[in-house]
Structure 1
Amino acid sequence: MKDALFQPMRLGKVTLKNRIVMPPMTRSRASQSGNVANDMMAKYYAQRADAGLIVAEGTQISEMGQGYAWTPGIYTQEQIAGWKKVTDAVHDKGGVIYAQLWHVGRVTHPANIGGQQPISSSALKAENVKVFIDDGSNAPGFVDVVEPREMTKADIQHVIGEYRQAALNAIEAGFDGIELHAANGYLVNQFIDSEANNRTDEYGGSVENRLRFLGEVVEAMTDAIGADRVGVRLAPFTSLNGTVDKTPVETYTAAAALLNKLNVVYLHIAEVDWDDAPETPAEFKPAVREAYNGTIIYAGRYNAEKGAEAIADGIADMIGFGRPFISNPDLPNRIMNDYPLATHDPDTLFGGAEKGLLDYPVYQAS
């Protein structure tokens, strides 16, 4: 059964050697000052280049787009040059790597965005949400988010322009394509989900209106670099960072149909993955498959068996394995050979240096 994970496939203009995806995972190791991708990050991704597709960690498109300390950006020449080290290292190992383009909207603190007030679809504070700032120690210092200001029409157009430029910057940095982060409660998600958006203009209210910002951002990026290099990540059923939608099956099936019309190369759906999380409603996955004709990636709580089954059933084309990739740089080889998986150290996920990033070994068969 697991052979389904090891069939090659086309994604836009590139051929992927398998259907195993390393999804984007924030590690907060960018060089300071300037939030620049570095040699350490290049080595980390190159170690994992046996994935069919790597989607690099969330990368802010502007200073205002940053939610957490020490995350990389892609809006300065220095940042583009830093990412070029990463993409070169992955390509040298025969890998394929996409950039995940990220604007956090309200999920931040003035300390991370030069003292400014965050922006969002609406002036609604995300309740019970914390982010980490650089408080002068080596450990992340967690603080509450603050109330954002509602974006004006001019703000919306400005941010769409930032997404477009970031897509161009990603291609300049050598990425094979980009993934729009429209999931997990960040800016695009703050427009989509009904309970995070109380606008009364054409960007709020109906499902069609709440999907407008998503569509305009995607159009700007596909116009810039081609739809065959643009994927989108959605999280229909998570309440991460305080975004909730009243009718998620309806809303996200409509989103899939919109993205089908815009011809994006893949849809990457993050399923809820904490232990007692609710299951994805049974009707959702077939509805998405019907609405969207491109490549579909699912990530969250998958093991090799469940992932292969989803591909064999035609529900998914690729499967993302998140945390297992942190502690198993050779994850595809371990899956193929039924080798045991190492567990990650949660204390080294965010910030720090090589410990917990580069020091997980490949499996040595005795």
Structure 2
Amino acid sequence: MSDLLAPLFEPLQIGPLRLKNRIVMAPMTRNFCPGGVPGEDVAGYYRRRAEGETGLIITEAVGVDHPAALGEAGIGESDLPHLYGERALAGWRRVVEQVHGAGGLIFPQLWHQGPMRRQGTGPNPDVASMRPSGLWGPAGGLTSSPEDYVQSQLLPTKPMSERDIEEVIAAYARSAVHVRDCGFDGIAIHGGHGYLIDTFLWNVTNQRSDAWGGSRRERSRFAAEVVRAIRRAVGPEMPILMRFSQWKQQDFKAKLAHSPAELEEILLPIADAGVDVFDASMRYFNRAEFPDQPGADAVLNLAGWARKITGRLAMTVGGVGLNNGMYDSNKQGGAQASDNLQLLVERFARGEFDLVGVGRSLLQDPDWARKVRLGEAFEPFSNDALKVLT
């Protein structure tokens, strides 16, 4: 292993959990769980990443125990996993056993699609989709979603009631208990990309005038209450990681915050509720988030700002080891291996973030982390990898 990359292979303590290195498998939707149940193929898929020396595995997004959590979101997604019901829980126990047997650690990413769910789809097609203010997003936003889906989603619906909000928060808590009982090592929460939690944070989709809307800090209340409910359900020790993003699937150019002060209003209430790690989702890890800031802060990416603002651990993600971002590779048929690990480690070595999320590279090659450690060449990414469980 080169001296340059050695910092990525230092252990890290997250509460009672000790990671053997800083490389994390980022969550990636796979659609290989018929009826929402992960089978042996899914268990083997995650086991192989643990065998390949990935420090922490975060699963694909997994629907929480709420009837409107899952459906189609722009494209057919009939084989999305969920985290309730004995068959699904037995499948997840098998996944955990396989990963632990290979010496790995694994968190599930809890998910509620919220406005992104197409009405009339999923396990409970008659149930209304959940939207904070009945809004999907802006007309004319920069999105890769199909036009027919966007047009159908732009129609306003009924805003979530107080009871709806309470029931969704309770669903996260129930699912957190399932996480603990299945033997997972921690919990990841999907709070980005235009799904339910994110649309409470975003002023475009949260125009409520009650206690769940208003200022940035007030719009953070729902996310904080979800975290607080999960923390109560699993106790003080289990690590909680939360993904957030500026960009949304409804509009890639969207922003929750235009300055560090605005980001602080959003993240501090969530940190105080019990988050241990912020997963700052960016399309490209090497882009400064607020480049107009003075001095060394001008280069910080979104994970760097999350760490600086909250004092919590932070994870970066976005094109690690590849020459383009996810949506660009979708259009171009794949991505080439890149030497951007040097840029990554330069940021890591100055303490900008603590963990490195790797998506498509690990989807293509389960031995990616080992190859990085040994200095071996790793593979380019092909969109064909989306069709199989390697």
TM-score interval w.r.t. the shorter chain? 0.7 to 0.9
Structure 1 residue 323 and structure 2 residue 367: aligned? no
Give the whole-Å Cα distance in 2 for the aligned partners of 1:310 and 1:329.
Answer: 25
Map 1:171-190 → 2, pairs under 5 A: 171-190=180-199
Give the whole-Å Cα distance in 2 for the aligned partners of 1:242 and 1:117.
Answer: 23
Map 1:133-152 → 2, pairs under 5 A: 143-144=149-150, 146=153, 147=155, 148-152=157-161
Task: Name the residue aligned to 2:342.
Answer: 305
Task: Name the residue aligned to 1:120.
Answer: 131
- Provide Cα deviations, 1:131-171, integer angstroms capped at 9, x if missing partner: 79xxxxxxxxx844534431001100000000000111111
Alpha carbons 1:195, 1:245 under 8 Å: kept: no
Task: Name the residue aligned to 1:266.
Answer: 277
Distance 1:325 1:348, change over 3 A: closer
Give the whole-Å Cα distance in 1 for the aligned partners of 2:256 and 2:280.
Answer: 18
- Specify the SS of the correspondent of 2:126: coil
CA drift at 1:227: 4.4
Task: Name the residue aligned to 2:240.
Answer: 230
Alpha carbons 2:47, 2:102 under 8 Å: kept: yes
Structure 1 residue 162 and structure 2 residue 171: aligned? yes
Task: Name the residue aligned to 1:41.
Answer: 42
Alignment RMSD, CA only?
2.3
Alpha carbons 1:108, 1:131 under 8 Å: kept: no
Distance 1:101 1:261, change over 3 A: same
Task: Name the residue aligned to 2:329.
Answer: none
**Match for residue 53 of structure 1 among 43, 53, 56:** 56
Give the whole-Å Cα distance in 2 for the aligned partners of 1:163 and 1:4.
Answer: 35
Distance 1:227 1:293, change over 3 A: farther
Distance 1:326 1:287, change over 3 A: closer
Alpha carbons 2:23, 2:55 under 8 Å: kept: yes
Task: Name the residue aligned to 2:7.
Answer: 4
Give the whole-Å Cα distance in 2 for the aligned partners of 1:318 and 1:278.
Answer: 17
Give the whole-Å Cα distance in 2 for the aligned partners of 1:131 and 1:76.
Answer: 31
Give the whole-Å Cα distance in 2 for the aligned partners of 1:26 and 1:246.
Answer: 24
How many residue pairs get aligned? The number is 339
CA drift at 1:198: 1.0
Map 1:1-366 → 2, pairs under 5 A: 1-31=4-34, 34-49=35-50, 50-61=53-64, 62-68=66-72, 69=77, 70-109=79-118, 110-112=120-122, 113-126=124-137, 127=139, 143-144=149-150, 146=153, 147=155, 148-228=157-237, 229-235=239-245, 237-242=246-251, 244-245=254-255, 247-249=257-259, 250-273=261-284, 279-282=288-291, 283=297, 285=301, 287-303=305-321, 304-349=341-386, 356-358=388-390
Alpha carbons 1:65, 1:105 under 8 Å: kept: yes
- Provide Cα deviations, 1:295-353, integer angstroms capped at 9, x if missing partner: 2111112333233222211110111111000111011111122222223331452xx5x
- Specify the SS of the correspondent of 2:280: strand
- Specify the SS of the correspondent of 1:120: coil
Structure 1 residue runs of 5 or longer lacking an equivalent are 133-141, 359-366
Structure 2 residue runs of 5 or longer lacking an equivalent are 292-296, 322-340
Give the whole-Å Cα distance in 2 for the aligned partners of 1:63 and 1:309.
Answer: 45
Q: TM (normalized to structure 1)?
A: 0.86
Give the whole-Å Cα distance in 2 for the aligned partners of 1:203 and 1:155.
Answer: 12
CA drift at 1:287: 4.0
Letter matched to residue 301 of structure 1: G
Alpha carbons 1:67, 1:131 under 8 Å: kept: no
> Which one is further off, 204-213 or 262-271?
262-271
- Provide Cα deviations, 1:62-104, integer angstroms capped at 9, x if missing partner: 3311143211000212211111111110000000000100001
- Provide Cα deviations, 1:177-227, integer angstroms capped at 9, x if missing partner: 111110111000000011111111111121121000011100000111134
> Which one is further off, 65-74 or 189-198?
65-74
Alpha carbons 2:110, 2:189 under 8 Å: kept: yes
